[in-house]
Structure 1
Amino acid sequence: MDIYASTLSPALDIGTGCYLLVLTVLSIMGNLLVLIMAFKRSSRMKPPELLSVNLALTDLGAAVTMYPLAVASAWNHHWLGGDVTCIYYGLAGFFFGVASIMNLTVLAIVRFIVSLSLQSPKEKIGWKKVKLLCMWTWLYALVWALFPILGWGRYGPEPFGLSCSLAWGQMKHEGFSFVISMFSFNLVMPSVIIICCYFGITIKLYVTYKKSMNNSNRIPNVVKLHRRLLVISVLISIGFIGCWTPYSLVSLWSIFRDSSVIPPEISLLPCMFAKSSTVYNPLIYYYFSQSFKSEVKQLPWLCLGANPCHVPNRVNDNSIYMARVDVKPKVATPLNLQEVTEVKTVTLG
């Protein structure tokens, strides 16, 4: 039996290839757009912003190095390249997946640290620390991706034959410790840390809101902005974890039960859903970040014709990755006896 032959119908193979091609195009375009926006404002970039750029790099890397091979294999009705490309594909998928979730975990921790002192002018996270954190996420992911190559775990084809990943069904005995360790350190623990960090940020914002309401009837800009950023961060984390959870559950089923009882068409669905995780982040930025949407509309190829682009300069605009808002009171003048507040946004990336 050819383990690399598709077990799906030819029509479903073609449909899967078209679906992956759409994901490839959307992921490359979206994440390139995020990187272009970051490059355009690199002179104003703050250290923690590099973490979100790093996240876009992981999504872009997966789309460029993996998806085209999967598209070609689907349209060929057979996995191309045999064992060599299968190990390569499984290693790349595991590598970028672990890098992404660890980057989300580090980003949640950094946002929590910054939220502890919302109005502090002191920079909490410096360039050196952020660069070390980014390097750590890549090195951590590389170590885990190399474990199956070194004998702890194994890569192999998916049951439907058009993709490769960790060979779950073959690790029931000899690789069981790897599976338990992998799920514990690369899914359960990061998820718990992310949930705790964002829950802590929510509590901090609530306390700040209650204090401000006791002093005045206005909600401070710092709470409004961080509330919006909290929504963006939570959606990004939910998007990634939500995409990979069904695939994780099916993989666990393959470890503890007979995977042959799962039809290939059913095992295909969570795998394809997990691959869509590389598309969501740019869409979340665009729909929930006013500044990112304005900067995208300002790009030359979108500013043609009689409708020149205009970027609003409003205090409630937030960049993609804002972390902190500094509020500084101005001295009141005789013409304006009310307190004037200048809100200076500090971007997080």
Structure 2
Amino acid sequence: MPESWDSRDDLPEDFFIPAALDVPNVTALSPFLVPQTHLGSRGVFAGLSAFMLALVALGLPANALTVACAARFGKLRSPLNRVLVNMAAANLLVVCAGSTTACYCFSRAYFALGPVACKVEGFAATLGGMVSLWSLAVVAFERYLVICKPLGGFAFRGSHAALGCAVTWIFGLAAAVPPLFGWSRYIPEGLQCSCGPDWYTTNNKWNNESYVAFLFCFCFGVPLAVIVFSYGRLLVALRAVAKQQEQSATTQKAEREVTKMVVVMVLGFLVCWGPYSAFALWAVTHRGQSFDAALASVPSVFSKASTVCNPVVYVFMNKQFRSCMLKLVFCGKSPFGDEDDVSGSSQATQVSSVSSSQVSPA
């Protein structure tokens, strides 16, 4: 494995190769032309291809079912559920344009679809990922407004949901479009079988450092701060109610269940997006230092895993969505009983209300 990585400014294509590999014709190592077996064994490529195939096999039906259920069952078209459907649509974009492409390219051990497809895949995966990530922040902030009531009797309506969804796509485009116009660029990353923003090279004309700083602060730091703040305040409210009702086993159980749910949500966010953000920041602040290409592919793979993690946490743990999905799959009849009468308004955090006298999971 090479000692350091750098860019070759005279390359006709958008890619980088190890500077320590002294070859007369650098295009001989192009990730668009030949297998990148100098970066990892065939077994590593095959393993990552299998993992991406699993993400496609799980993420595609999970998110497609979410969209289909919302279209089929009117009771699922609540304002908050529209944000969840928006997230599912963004996840489908990542699965179709990112995970499937990476699965195929890992199986070939190089980005066999060419430079144009690399830019398309990088743009689509970044856009879908950012929309999904910001959707998580919108859901968290909605829970804070509705449950903790900092604005009094605020009601999350359809217009608020539409505005929230529009904001996620605007912010997603703000993150995904710049590399297409010279602020950073989309190139093969890690083992060169999936594409993303250029974290690695030192060519100042791409202004990679400023772009990475923008992504880290605006597209990871801000959503994470919103999520932690919103769910943190929610937990404080829940604990306050539980403390007032120390003798109530139901309240104490509800408080424990919601605490567990919030912890799972935040951990899911960090597991999916933390490695990608941390690696990008490390790559920019440690120019020229060696790193393993296979390990560099792991953060990208984890970020794509959010297409499976998000529907499991936010949708499948929602009783109304789960019931409707089972009915859709089994042609109108749930094999596990009818859950139509469950209370709540399809709330993703499984909490329908917090008052001075009650904590109630949906």
Q: Secondary structure at the match of 1:169?
A: coil
What is the SS of the residue equivalent to 2:200? helix
SS in 2 for 1:78: coil
- Report the secondary structure of 1:33's partner residue: helix
1:138 — aligned with what? 169
Deviates more, 1:317-326 or 1:272-281: 317-326
Return the match for 1:255 from 284, 300, 309.
Answer: 284
Partner of residue 14, structure 1:
46
User: Secondary structure of the equivalent of 1:66?
Assistant: helix
1:257-336 alignment, distance < 5 Å: 257-258=286-287, 261-285=290-314, 288-301=317-330, 308-312=335-339, 319=346, 321=348, 324-325=352-353
Name 2:244's counterpart in structure 1.
211
Task: Report the TM-score when normalising by structure 2.
Answer: 0.77
2:187 maps to which of 156, 160, 166 = 156
Give the SS at the match of 2:248. coil
The offset of 1:258, in angstroms, is: 4.1
Secondary structure in structure 2 of the residue aligned to 1:161: coil
The residue type equivalent to 1:168 in the other structure is W
Asked if 1:176 is matched to 2:209, the reply is yes
Instruction: Classify 1:93/1:281 alpha carbon distance in 2 versus 1 (closer, same or farther; 3 Å).
Output: same
Q: Answer with 230-239 or 154-163: which moved more.
A: 230-239
| 1:135 to 1:289, Cα distance in 2 relative to 1, 3 A | closer
State the aligned residue count: 325
Matches within 5 A, 1:36-185: 36-43=68-75, 45-117=77-149, 124-170=155-201, 173=204, 174-185=207-218
Structure-2 change in CA distance of 1:205 and 1:94 (3 Å): same
SS in 1 for 2:110: coil
Question: 2:55 and 2:320 mapped to 1: Cα distance?
Answer: 25
Q: Which of 254, 258, 268 is the matching residue for 1:239?
A: 268
Correspondence for 1:199: 232
Aligned to 2:15: none
The Cα offsets for residues 15-39 of structure 1, whole Å up to 9 and x where unpaired, read as: 2222211111100011122223333
Deviating more after overlay: 73-82 vs 204-213: 204-213
Contact 2:69 2:328 in 1 (8 A): no
Letter in 2 for 1:48: L
Distance 1:245 1:326 in 2: 31
The answer as to whether partners of 1:47 and 1:127 remain within 8 angstroms in 2 is: yes
Unaligned runs of 5+ in 1: 328-340
The answer to whether the 8 A contact 2:69-2:76 is kept is: no
Amino acid of the residue matched to residue 137 of structure 2? T
What's the offset of the Cα at 1:285? Answer: 5.0
The 2-side partners of 1:264 and 1:313 are apart by 49
C-alpha offsets along residues 160-193 of structure 1, whole Å, 9 cap, x if unaligned? 1111111111257432222212211111122122
Contact 2:49 2:106 in 1 (8 A): yes
- Superposition deviation, residue 14 in structure 1: 2.3
Report how far residue 228 of structure 1 moved: 4.3
The alpha-carbon distance between structure 1 residues 294 and 229, as it changes in their structure 2 partners (threshold 3 A), is farther
* Amino acid in the other structure paired with 1:270: P
Identical counterparts, % of pairs: 24
- Whether contact under 8 Å (1:253, 1:259) holds in the other structure is no
What secondary structure, in the 3-state scheme, does the structure 1 residue paired with 2:79 have? Answer: coil
Matching residue of 1:3: 30
**Cα pair distance change 1:288/1:301, threshold 3 Å:** closer
Give the drift of 1:246: 1.5
CA RMSD of aligned residues (A): 3.3
Distance apart, 1:227 and its partner CA = 6.4
Amino acid at match of 1:169: Y
How far residue 237 of structure 1 moved from its aligned partner, in angstroms, is: 3.8
